[in-house]
Structure 1
């Protein structure tokens, strides 16, 4: 790591502390001291707030578990920056702990100056037996040894907690591995706790990597230790006797109380689920332990073979440059390409909601058909009946759902709108709902989000009543059997008089088990789960689903909250209820693909089954918004 990289690492501390202050100000967690170290208040997005909230919860969990077992201990924080953990722990009554923070000299000098400017912080920092803030180069282990034992008089035998919160990942792999081994051999009773990045090879991981490369602070250990297994083995092979690893999705759903999560979710309006879950799946909390110290993270049960997903490679994966750069749009395939309406993407004046209808042809050419301000929406549905495209629902901003219907005459390039309200027999306005044509003039609508950002489980059928000539069609809404529970970002498909709802995100923000079935006939309607022969598909949401002529359902892409890799392509035999999962290839860092909030087109020619993926992308935490700039052609 060069000196210029050292400076850039220090700069990341300033951005981080401002984000923490914004998160705390918004009520996500409490910290009485953060304002002492943040130079200037800024307002971050709700996505940033959630990301820093789960980071704080993970670190608080480690401190609480370790200190409950070892109230008299030592804590050494590597790359501490302007972290306030010492002050909050003292405020909570932890007075038997020697706390040492280590960072670059410039960071240490700035932090001391800020401490001196706040009397209460200065008073706590003056307790020499309790707190030391020192500069050191973690790559120089002889110097570090002298600092800790000769100057700070630390004990090698006392229970010791090492903290690396997005710190040693910036070191070269050889130096960080030597530091990990040195900690384990020098302190026989210790825990090493790490919060850092994983999964560099998928679309989000590539965006994340590129972000840090552009900041001149590449994640140097990430390519060598890219997943749970390699991270765990790294510590076990460096002298630590036990090690547990949770990605942050796992941590949130298994170790944060549900009532606390419910409180957090009510703080702000939020509709960036893909970006949040992707962020959480690309960060881990890890604890390694040895001696009389136990790992603060619970030991995870081994998965049974019946629940292990075996994956194989796709037959082909081709990328073609595309001018369609948007996500959250609605699409409807036809024989020559795909109709696309709305979404969020690139505009001349910057990113925003798009208000157009385009026809994307299979040869890559794009036709812009019309613009209408009311088309500027996201997470709506689009279906083609004869020559009319039917736009339903979607949203403007979060908590601004739409319940209108747009009828687009594709021959005349004209659009007409119908408006209705629940009191007039229409469904509650919604977005992120599931929908499918289930008969020539009948559209199924189910689930999604409603007016109060409430999760919906009601289902409806829309009967489209075509009029003669160019007159606007009318519609008749009829209630349908409700889903067993609310879900959003699911996909509805139709197969042999069965409506098949796949995936989605439930009230707990967990990806739902993939399939629910209901008959479209009027007798004995009941949602039921299929009986799988072997493992069921990877739970996912924000994906796409296609039904082939040979009775297969193909789930494409999406986001998972409970799987260690991005969902690829799942091919389901709808007659035997067996499935095969195909993994996505390693992504090109120059043109990464995030298969979320996108559209698909199925091409069945001879014995080949090809799928074209248009658009898609995601907000990527603090790494920026990613819009896929390619058409993906894949074959299974």
Structure 2
């Protein structure tokens, strides 16, 4: 059951999916699967399209480095996955993993499962929907589970049904998820991972630098849409983003604002390509947006595998 205020947060899934569809339609990156889940969208501003390109390219750079390090002998848990098509894109790029698990609120996973059943290209013949749980779906190496990560015990039970192996390298991904949780709830979730998994890496994409004027405006705009940023205190700076993991028992953490990722860390050839797609007369708004989002990473290394290569 969704709690009060969840509906507005759930709606951000549709917003993100539509923004990604806008950028894909214009050629910022290739995603032949997204159109099966998101049929129609309006064209977004060039700043939004470029921002989403940086988001997707930055996150996938780190994901592929993780998978390559372990030659696919690892797991991936996508928290708040929404209508993401990452599983199929990784399959087609040759970055398969032992087990891929998507977690989101049951309202979202039920919609996604319903859509998947109608799309032959995305539907596994071995998909099983257990009992009356229309919010869960299982295949050999791919699982969708409807669960609220504020209820860690429920998440653990559903993860067990996915045959998750807490002894092998596991990658967690969250895009604009933790910021909607209270600090107490996000800390409890991160502590659960730290105490349960022997070898884990976390990629977190969300807001940062929310204490300045532009950041305060972002908070107000989301509040007006019914989205209270309950975890905003962890998004005031890159240091705050890293601190949340270190305080939750993780071994180390690092982070970059998206302006740094876009301007300095993504391949220049790709940046030159995407900047030719749409004309942008003034870059001030783009820079403002990029400096108020970040990618932070954290790691647990009880197996001494050394995660230092998983950087930009």
Q: TM-score under structure 1 normalisation?
A: 0.45
Q: How far 1:247 moved relative to its partner?
A: 0.5
Q: How far 1:108 moved relative to its partner?
A: 0.7
Alpha carbons 1:75, 1:99 under 8 Å: kept: yes
Alignment pair present for 1:268 and 2:278: yes
Which of 261, 267, 270 is the equivalent residue of 1:251? 261
Root mean square deviation of aligned Cα:
1.8
Q: Which residue of 2 aligns with 1:288?
A: 298
Alpha carbons 1:287, 1:297 under 8 Å: kept: no
Counterparts in 2 of 1:213-362, with a 5 A limit? 213-291=223-301, 292=305, 294=307, 297-298=310-311
**Runs of at least 4 residues off by over 3 Å:** 124-127, 295-299
Larger strand percent: 1
Which of 146, 162, 183 is the equivalent residue of 1:135? 146
Alpha carbons 2:234, 2:244 under 8 Å: kept: no
Q: Which residue of 2 aligns with 1:119?
A: 120
1:547-580 deviation digits (Å, cap 9, x = unpaired) = xxxxxxxxxxxxxxxxxxxxxxxxxxxxxxxxxx
Q: How far 1:37 moved relative to its partner?
A: 1.0
Alignment pair present for 1:63 and 2:63: yes
Q: Which residue of 2 aligns with 1:80?
A: 81
> What is the DSSP-based 3-state SS (H/G/I as helix, E as strand, rest coil) of the residue aligned with 2:150?
coil
Q: Aligned equivalents of 1:220 and 1:146: distance in 2?
A: 26
Provide closer, same or farther for how the CA distance between residues 224 and 268 of structure 1 changes in structure 2, counting only shifts above 3 A.
closer
Q: Aligned equivalents of 1:11 and 1:125: distance in 2?
A: 30
**Rg larger for:** 1
Q: Aligned equivalents of 1:55 and 1:164: distance in 2?
A: 12
1:518-558 deviation digits (Å, cap 9, x = unpaired) = xxxxxxxxxxxxxxxxxxxxxxxxxxxxxxxxxxxxxxxxx
Q: Aligned equivalents of 1:224 and 1:91: distance in 2?
A: 35
Provide closer, same or farther for how the CA distance between residues 80 and 293 of structure 1 changes in structure 2, counting only shifts above 3 A.
farther
Q: Aligned equivalents of 2:284 and 2:97: distance in 1?
A: 42
Q: How far 1:61 moved relative to its partner?
A: 1.0
Q: Aligned equivalents of 1:170 and 1:104: distance in 2?
A: 13
Alignment pair present for 1:154 and 2:167: no
Provide closer, same or farther for how the CA distance between residues 109 and 5 of structure 1 changes in structure 2, counting only shifts above 3 A.
same
Q: Aligned equivalents of 1:219 and 1:92: distance in 2?
A: 35
Q: How far 1:296 moved relative to its partner?
A: 5.8
Q: Aligned equivalents of 2:255 and 2:21: distance in 1?
A: 28
Provide closer, same or farther for how the CA distance between residues 296 and 211 of structure 1 changes in structure 2, counting only shifts above 3 A.
farther
Q: Which residue of 2 aligns with 1:95?
A: 96
> What is the DSSP-based 3-state SS (H/G/I as helix, E as strand, rest coil) of the residue aligned with 1:123?
coil
Q: Which residue of 1 aligns with 2:200?
A: 190
1:271-311 deviation digits (Å, cap 9, x = unpaired) = 24111111111111011012125156539xxxxxxxxxxxx
Q: Aligned equivalents of 1:261 and 1:95: distance in 2?
A: 27
Q: How far 1:56 moved relative to its partner?
A: 0.7
Q: Which residue of 2 aligns with 1:13?
A: 13
Q: How far 1:203 moved relative to its partner?
A: 1.5
Q: How far 1:20 moved relative to its partner?
A: 0.6
> What is the DSSP-based 3-state SS (H/G/I as helix, E as strand, rest coil) of the residue aligned with 2:42?
coil
Provide closer, same or farther for how the CA distance between residues 125 and 21 of structure 1 changes in structure 2, counting only shifts above 3 A.
farther
Q: Which residue of 2 aligns with 1:583?
A: none
Provide closer, same or farther for how the CA distance between residues 49 and 124 of structure 1 changes in structure 2, counting only shifts above 3 A.
farther
Counterparts in 2 of 1:483-522, with a 5 A limit? none
Contiguous gaps of at least 5 residues in structure 2: 128-137
Q: Aligned equivalents of 1:156 and 1:8: distance in 2?
A: 33
Provide closer, same or farther for how the CA distance between residues 289 and 296 of structure 1 changes in structure 2, counting only shifts above 3 A.
farther
Counterparts in 2 of 1:446-461, with a 5 A limit? none
Q: Aligned equivalents of 2:80 and 2:309: distance in 1?
A: 21
Alpha carbons 2:62, 2:311 under 8 Å: kept: no
Q: How far 1:125 moved relative to its partner?
A: 7.7
Q: Which has the higher contact order (CA 8 A, sep 6+)?
A: 2
1:494-525 deviation digits (Å, cap 9, x = unpaired) = xxxxxxxxxxxxxxxxxxxxxxxxxxxxxxxx
Larger helix percent: 2
Provide closer, same or farther for how the CA distance between residues 199 and 125 of structure 1 changes in structure 2, counting only shifts above 3 A.
farther
Q: TM-score under structure 2 normalisation?
A: 0.91
Q: Which residue of 1 aligns with 2:133?
A: none
Which of 167, 170, 173 is the equivalent residue of 2:180? 170
Alpha carbons 2:124, 2:139 under 8 Å: kept: no
Q: Aligned equivalents of 1:167 and 1:29: distance in 2?
A: 23
Q: Aligned equivalents of 1:185 and 1:172: distance in 2?
A: 20
Contiguous gaps of at least 5 residues in structure 1: 300-636
> What is the DSSP-based 3-state SS (H/G/I as helix, E as strand, rest coil) of the residue aligned with 2:164?
coil
Alpha carbons 1:191, 1:293 under 8 Å: kept: no
Q: Which residue of 1 aligns with 2:23?
A: 23
